[in-house]
Amino acid sequence: MTDFIERAKFACALGGAISTLEGLHHVVPIIHAAGGCANYLSNTYNVAAGYRGVGYCGGTMLSTSNIAENNVVFGGEGRLAEQIESTLFALDGDLYVVVTGCQVEIIGDDAVAVANRFKDRNVIGVSTPGFRGNALKGYDAVMNALVENVIEPAAAREEKTVNLFGVVPGQDVFFKGNLDQLKILLAKIGVKANTFFATGDTVADIRGYGSAALSAVLSPAAGLDPAERLCARAGIPYVNAELPIGPSGTESFLRQIGGALNVDPALIEAVIAAEKAEYYSFLERIVDIYADLDFQRYAIVAADSYYAHAITRFLANDLGWIPHLVAVNDIEEEDEQKLYAARFDDISSAAKPRVIFEQNAGLLLEHVRNSWPRNNNGKYYDALSPAYVVGSVIESSLAEKLGAGFLSVAFPVTNRVVLSKGYVGFRGALTFVEDLLTNLVSAR
Amino acid sequence: MAKYIDELTYDFARTVTPPVRETRIGVCSAYCGGCGQLTRDVKAGCAQLQSRKFAQSGGCQLNLALGIVSSFTNVVVIVHSPLGCSSNFLGSGGLRKTMRASKGKPAEEFIWLHTNMTEVDVIHGGLDKLRRAILYAETRYHPEAIIVANGCVPGIIGDDIDSLASELDGRISAKIVPVHCEGLKSRYVASGYDSAYHALLRHLADPIQEYGQVFPDEGRDALKRYNISRTVNIFNVGSNSSGDEAELSRIVASLGLIPRVLPLHASLDDLARIGEAALNVSICATHDDYLLGHLKERFGIPYIIDTLPIGIRSTNQWVREIAKFFGLEEEAERVIELENTQLQEALKPFRAVLEGKSVYVGGGELRILTTADFFARDLGMKLTGIKAHNVDRFVEDIIDDLFDPNLQITVAAGQPAEELNLLKKLKPDLYCGHGGANGWSSRLGIPSIPLYGQTLNYMGYLGAYELARKAAKALKNTNFSRNISRNVGLPLSKAWFESDTSDNIKQSELAG
């Protein structure tokens, strides 16, 4: 059962749908809802995803049917048809996608049917009312619509090609940098990555994704549904994978994807060896300061399931930090929680993290306090220190209270500007280390 | 001259929900033509009936209402709705922090909750979740008030947040403050101000109870009465900076009066003392006529709702109106003369740069009119056009008094497609616009300055100087917008740019 949430780190399904569409090149969203929804929800990700901006056609530029109370009484389908027609006149796009808000769904408008009347002019429709759930549900709905209306099932397979699902624009603040890096990384083992949202991806490219040999779902909470549908529709099998951050994660990711696509294991191992050598040639630079100033930290990670384990594994298995507490904010079902917690069996440090599932941001402080013996005015106290919080910007106050270092990675991120940066692979992990440690020396 | 506000009545505070602006005032939200024609059409009532064929996303009244109530000190805000309706807090939470810091208020973590309504709640109602959320806020954070704002979904399905508030009233220590701000109910986002102030009036404006004194002190009582008789409430808005508040307070204090800035960022104690003033002064009719009108009904405090003190002329007028009320006309003229002389001198270098340059101003009605007037009157700039988010009868006199009847005016909340179409033809040297609009102007290659900003000063004499300084600064290097326009495209079609903006305006089948 869902309950209220204190400081939820998501917009609604419509917000996720808009953010996803804004991530697609030359795609024009048409929002069938009250006039404020589109700009409001777009603005959530425009600001809170590291100042991502409105992109090609977002923010105040978003086309909307601007439904008001009279339409609730009389229905808004006529108004939507007029808005689609005028949008086709005013805005250039390779694809137009009608998405819906709560109001029109409750009154029973069939927006998808209206959109289908314009099918021959590159218009598709998908139902995305906010009450359907969080932004990840909106991502899934839009991706499902792409699978069913845009991606063309192909007879011939491109053997070494993988479709990547689960990287949600905006909800992953670093989505573009991460996907760009994944493309480069997979190309090194001869695999072509179909990424939807990376630099240079177009609608024409997406139409051809039906010939891929594999889909990989990089999030436990998003992307599975469209991957399954693509499997049913085009016969493309899928695997559950994880966002690879740093040597440990990237090695197993390359072996998993390469293995599934029958890449020569010798090539995979050669690439890993070369990449790892390069990674450590740079990491070597911080060895002295790490050792001299004792940069080993107790790590507290507060993130969605997409980032939580990926980050923790890097901090513990690669950087040698002590994984203390991991708070995951987007898995509600108990079975899925157990499954996710089991991922942490691969943490190789002597100290193992406590993994909790907590949606209410304000309760994290209490979880931290309960995770460690209190100082009862003793002269000697083994404190949870030095600590470092990797979370969203909401956890900055937690870090302040704990006197801990802090880096915002999970959504929302408003205390730094993100452009092309990403944290995946070997290269991304170097950037991650730069950002983590910069915060420890930035006051100098 | 009779003012439009004198025609209005303020007797809504006893009803649970406030009226929307469409019915209370009447609003034009779509227009394209000359200033003179617009005010004639507004007076005739036909401008209010227009809407558009191609519409772009404007604002939501919930956002504006939340902007006000979430600024209060020591409150928890609960948004009763599906998940999206509180999501702007994810981006704006940090702004609240920096705004409090700039006002010298202690840091305070902003807590908001969300009832996270799902499909099941749409069918069964979401009040149980809301009750749990209220109790969580109470036991966990002990705020002075728990503010419950409802979105469209509870509005449509009929969740009665007021009866839940009454049920819990007295059982918990926090005041429960329902705010009715369903976005769907009004296309005029300023309705959100009324929604927020309606809640303030009903739940937060009750005076602090005075008890009889054991040792009566007539001197102290007399001093208190005197202080109240000299106190001027200045009503702030979400778009002003702390610097603006300091400047307006300085000007009011220079008349020998006691300025007090309310209600944004106020504590509940400040709000309970809102009635302890001799005069309430608005800086923007769009924001607070509803609040000031009701405060007059409630406490008998007169108000001044006249102009927005941006630029020299408007600031002078604002000062004169306040001074007139207290019989301080002579003092005011002395202040005005000194301030104007100093400011005109200080503006000289900027006037030398800006004179003859063309400018386009877009945003909230009072702010654009006063800003545009300053650019033209005091800096010698050439107005190519203005755009108001909405136009109501509060500004018809200002438009008639200040502007050439042939000056091009459009009425559009956002609607960058229409605006860019015009800007491409008008090619102003500088654009000055509302948040969300300046980036589009940059993409078109027109340098811009923001129309308002939390850390930027615009109001009073010092604000006028800052505004001129900003405009001159923007022209010192226009490479950013030039480079962006050459390398980043716009989504608008060739056919759109070739069309006439006024073709997009239509007579509405129904008002709204």
- ipTM computed for the complex: 0.95
**How far is the alpha carbon of A41 from chain B, nearest alpha carbon, in Å?**
7
What confidence tens digit (pLDDT) does each residue in B316-359 have?
Answer: 999 999 999 999 999 999 999 999 999 999 999 999 999 999 99
**How far is the alpha carbon of B478 from chain A, nearest alpha carbon, in Å?**
21
What residues of A are in contact with residue B130 (Cβ under 8 Å)?
4
Class (C level, CATH) for B331-506: alpha beta
What residues of B are in contact with residue A131 (Cβ under 8 Å)?
82, 117-119, 121-122, 153
A328, A219 Cβ separation under 8 angstroms: no
- Contact A60/B118, CB-based, under 8 Å? no
- Write b or e for each residue in B222-261: b if 16 or more Cβ atoms lie within 10 A of its Cβ, otherwise e: eeeeeeeebbbbbbbbbbbbbbbbbbbbebbebbebbbbb
**How far is the alpha carbon of B445 from chain A, nearest alpha carbon, in Å?**
16
Is B187 an interface residue toward A (CB < 8 Å)?
yes
- Contact B156/A72, CB-based, under 8 Å? yes
DSSP B1-36: ---GGGG-----TTSSSPPPHHHHT--B--EEEEHH
Nearest to A310 by CA among A178, A198, A187: A178
First to last CA, chain B: 30
Tokens of B490: 């716009």
Residue with tokens 């139409």: A207
Q: What is the gyration radius of the CA atoms in chain A, in angstroms?
A: 23
Would you tell me how many other CB atoms lie within 10 Å of the CB of residue A344?
18
Q: How far apart are CA B476 and CA A400, in angstroms?
A: 40
- The CB-side HSE value for B114 (13 A sphere, CA atoms) comes to 32
**Diameter of chain A by CA atoms?**
77
Per-residue model confidence (pLDDT) at position A1: 61
User: β-strands B50-52, B505-507: how paired?
Assistant: antiparallel
- Contact A11/B83, CB-based, under 8 Å? yes
Q: How far apart are CA B428 and CA A297, in angstroms?
A: 55
Cα B131 to chain center, whole Å? 32
Per-residue model confidence (pLDDT) at position A249: 98
- In this prediction, residues B251-260 reach a mean pLDDT of 98
- Contact A44/B87, CB-based, under 8 Å? yes
A404, A322 Cβ separation under 8 angstroms: no
Across the interface, of A12, A39, A83, the residue whose CB is closest to B83 is A12
Whether residue B100 has pLDDT greater than 80? yes
Sign of CA dihedral A325, A331, A337, A339: negative
What residues of B are in contact with residue A59 (Cβ under 8 Å)?
57, 436, 439
Percentage, residues of chain B above pLDDT 70: 99
Helix residue spans in B52-160 (DSSP H): 61-69, 89-102, 119-124, 127-141, 152-157
Whether residue A178 has pLDDT greater than 70? yes
Across the interface, of B83, B156, B414, the residue whose CB is closest to A106 is B156
For A334, counting Cβ atoms within 10 Å of its Cβ (0-12 exposed, 13-18 middle, 19+ buried), the class is exposed
Is B109 an interface residue toward A (CB < 8 Å)?
yes
- Contact A40/B440, CB-based, under 8 Å? no
Whether residue A399 has pLDDT greater than 80? yes
DSSP B263-288: STT--HHHHHTTT--SEEEES-HHHH
Across the interface, of A9, A34, A82, the residue whose CB is closest to B90 is A9
Per-residue model confidence (pLDDT) at position B84: 94
Per-residue model confidence (pLDDT) at position B510: 52
What confidence tens digit (pLDDT) does each residue in A180-221 have?
Answer: 999 999 999 999 999 999 999 999 999 999 999 999 999 999
What confidence tens digit (pLDDT) does each residue in A320-378 have?
Answer: 999 999 999 999 999 999 999 999 999 999 999 999 999 999 999 999 999 999 988 88
Residues A294-413: name the CATH superfamily.
Nitrogenase molybdenum iron protein domain (3.40.50.1980)
Sign of CA dihedral A293, A296, A300, A304: positive
- Write b or e for each residue in B29-61: b if 16 or more Cβ atoms lie within 10 A of its Cβ, otherwise e: bbbbbebbebbbbbeeeebbbbbbbbbbbbbbb
For B179, counting Cβ atoms within 10 Å of its Cβ (0-12 exposed, 13-18 middle, 19+ buried), the class is buried
- In this prediction, residues A279-307 reach a mean pLDDT of 97
Would you tell me how many other CB atoms lie within 10 Å of the CB of residue B96?
18
The reported pTM is 0.96
Would you tell me how many other CB atoms lie within 10 Å of the CB of residue B455?
11
Q: How far apart are CA B411 and CA B33, in angstroms?
A: 9
| CB–CB contacts below 8 A, A to B | 244
Tell me how far CA of residue A364 lies from CA of A6, A96, A355, A399, in angstroms.
11, 41, 12, 11
**How far is the alpha carbon of B10 from chain A, nearest alpha carbon, in Å?**
24
- Contact B491/A56, CB-based, under 8 Å? yes
What residue ranges in A139-265 does DSSP mark as E strands? 158-165, 192-194, 212-217, 238-240
**How far is the alpha carbon of A80 from chain B, nearest alpha carbon, in Å?**
10
Nearest to B273 by CA among B301, B308, B293: B301
Q: How far apart are CA B54 and CA A66, in angstroms?
A: 10
Q: How far apart are CA B27 and CA B48, in angstroms?
A: 5
pLDDT band per the 50, 70, 90 thresholds, residue B512: very low
How many helices (H) and strands (E) are present in chain A, helices listed first? 18, 14
Is B316 an interface residue toward A (CB < 8 Å)?
no
**How far is the alpha carbon of A381 from chain B, nearest alpha carbon, in Å?**
28
Q: Which CATH number fits domain B61-203: 3.40.50.1980, 3.40.50.970, 3.40.50.1820, 1.10.420.10?
A: 3.40.50.1980
Q: How far apart are CA B361 and CA A254, in angstroms?
A: 54
Would you tell me how many other CB atoms lie within 10 Å of the CB of residue A320?
12
Residue with tokens 């106020």: B266
Domain ranges of chain B: 61-203, 218-328, 331-506
Per-residue model confidence (pLDDT) at position B466: 97
pLDDT band per the 50, 70, 90 thresholds, residue B232: very high
> What three-state secondary structure class fits B197?
helix
Residue type at B385 in one-letter notation:
G
Tokens of B303: 């108000």
Whether residue B418 has pLDDT greater than 50? yes
Average pLDDT across chain B, whole number? 94
Best of A51, A61, A97 to disrupt the B interface by mutation (most B CBs within 10 Å)? A61
First to last CA, chain A: 49
Residue with tokens 């991650």: A432
What confidence tens digit (pLDDT) does each residue in A213-255 have?
Answer: 999 999 999 999 999 999 999 999 999 999 999 999 999 999 9
Q: Which residue of B has its CA nearest to A84?
A: B54
What residues of B are in contact with residue A134 (Cβ under 8 Å)?
83
Is B81 an interface residue toward A (CB < 8 Å)?
yes
Whether residue B243 has pLDDT greater than 50? yes
What residues of A are in contact with residue B141 (Cβ under 8 Å)?
362
- Contact A39/B118, CB-based, under 8 Å? no
Q: How far apart are CA B389 and CA B433, in angstroms?
A: 11
Best of B27, B62, B87 to disrupt the A interface by mutation (most A CBs within 10 Å)? B87
Tell me how far CA of residue A35 lies from CA of A53, B182, B414, B419, in angstroms.
20, 12, 11, 18
**How far is the alpha carbon of A144 from chain B, nearest alpha carbon, in Å?**
20
- Contact A362/B140, CB-based, under 8 Å? yes
Q: How far apart are CA B192 and CA B195, in angstroms?
A: 5
Residues A158-277: name the CATH superfamily.
Nitrogenase molybdenum iron protein domain (3.40.50.1980)
User: β-strands B408-411, B31-34: how paired?
Assistant: antiparallel
Provide the chain B residues 482-501 that lie in CB contact (below 8 A) with chain A. 489, 491-493, 495-496
- In this prediction, residues B45-64 reach a mean pLDDT of 93
Q: How far apart are CA A391 and CA B334, in angstroms?
A: 57
Q: Looking at the DSSP assignment, which residues form a beta bridge with residue B506?
A: B51
Per-residue model confidence (pLDDT) at position B367: 97
Per-residue model confidence (pLDDT) at position B187: 87
Specify the DSSP element, H or E, that contains B250. helix B242-254
- In this prediction, residues A394-400 reach a mean pLDDT of 96
Q: Which residue of A has its CA nearest to B417?
A: A61
Would you tell me how many other CB atoms lie within 10 Å of the CB of residue B180?
26
Residues A13-149: name the CATH superfamily.
Nitrogenase molybdenum iron protein domain (3.40.50.1980)
- Contact B141/A15, CB-based, under 8 Å? no
What residue ranges in A166-211 does DSSP mark as E strands? 192-194
- In this prediction, residues B43-55 reach a mean pLDDT of 91
Per-residue model confidence (pLDDT) at position B453: 92
- Contact A34/B152, CB-based, under 8 Å? yes
Q: How far apart are CA B116 and CA B325, in angstroms?
A: 49
Is B132 an interface residue toward A (CB < 8 Å)?
yes
Across the interface, of B90, B151, B489, the residue whose CB is closest to A412 is B90
Nearest to A271 by CA among A288, A250, A286, A291: A250
Q: Looking at the DSSP assignment, which residues form a beta bridge with residue A126?
A: A99
What confidence tens digit (pLDDT) does each residue in A64-94 have?
Answer: 999 888 777 788 999 999 999 999 999 999 9
Whether residue A444 has pLDDT greater than 60? yes
Q: How far apart are CA A207 and CA A114, in angstroms?
A: 23
**How far is the alpha carbon of B107 from chain A, nearest alpha carbon, in Å?**
11
Architecture of domain B218-328: 3-Layer(aba) Sandwich (3.40)
Best of A60, A77, A364 to disrupt the B interface by mutation (most B CBs within 10 Å)? A60
Percentage, residues of chain A above pLDDT 70: 100
Best of A131, A134, A332, A358 to disrupt the B interface by mutation (most B CBs within 10 Å)? A131
Per-residue model confidence (pLDDT) at position B70: 96
- Contact A91/B512, CB-based, under 8 Å? no
Provide the chain B residues 404-443 that lie in CB contact (below 8 A) with chain A. 414-417, 436-437, 439-440
- Contact B87/A67, CB-based, under 8 Å? no
Whether residue B509 has pLDDT greater than 80? no
Q: How far apart are CA A79 and CA A83, in angstroms?
A: 6
**How far is the alpha carbon of A22 from chain B, nearest alpha carbon, in Å?**
12
Is B150 an interface residue toward A (CB < 8 Å)?
no
**How far is the alpha carbon of B179 from chain A, nearest alpha carbon, in Å?**
18
Q: Which residue of B has its CA nearest to A82?
A: B53
Residues of chain A with CATH 3.40.50.1980: 13-149, 158-277, 294-413
Question: What residues have CB less than 8 Å from A357, skipping those under 6 apart?
Answer: A327, A328, A329, A331, A332, A337, A340
Sign of CA dihedral A239, A245, A249, A252: positive
Q: How far apart are CA A181 and CA B363, in angstroms?
A: 41
- Contact A61/B85, CB-based, under 8 Å? no
- A377: region left, alpha or beta (phi > 0 left; psi from -120 to 50 alpha): left
pLDDT band per the 50, 70, 90 thresholds, residue B1: very low
What confidence tens digit (pLDDT) does each residue in B334-343 have?
Answer: 999 999 999 9
What residues of B are in contact with residue A39 (Cβ under 8 Å)?
57-60, 414, 436
Q: How far apart are CA B240 and CA A368, in angstroms?
A: 39
Nearest to B371 by CA among B359, B357, B356: B359
Q: Which residue of B has its CA nearest to A88?
A: B493
Is B299 an interface residue toward A (CB < 8 Å)?
no
Q: How far apart are CA A403 and CA A388, in angstroms?
A: 9
Q: How far apart are CA B512 and CA B13, in angstroms?
A: 24
pLDDT band per the 50, 70, 90 thresholds, residue A443: confident
- Contact B56/A3, CB-based, under 8 Å? no
Q: How far apart are CA B183 and CA B508, in angstroms?
A: 20
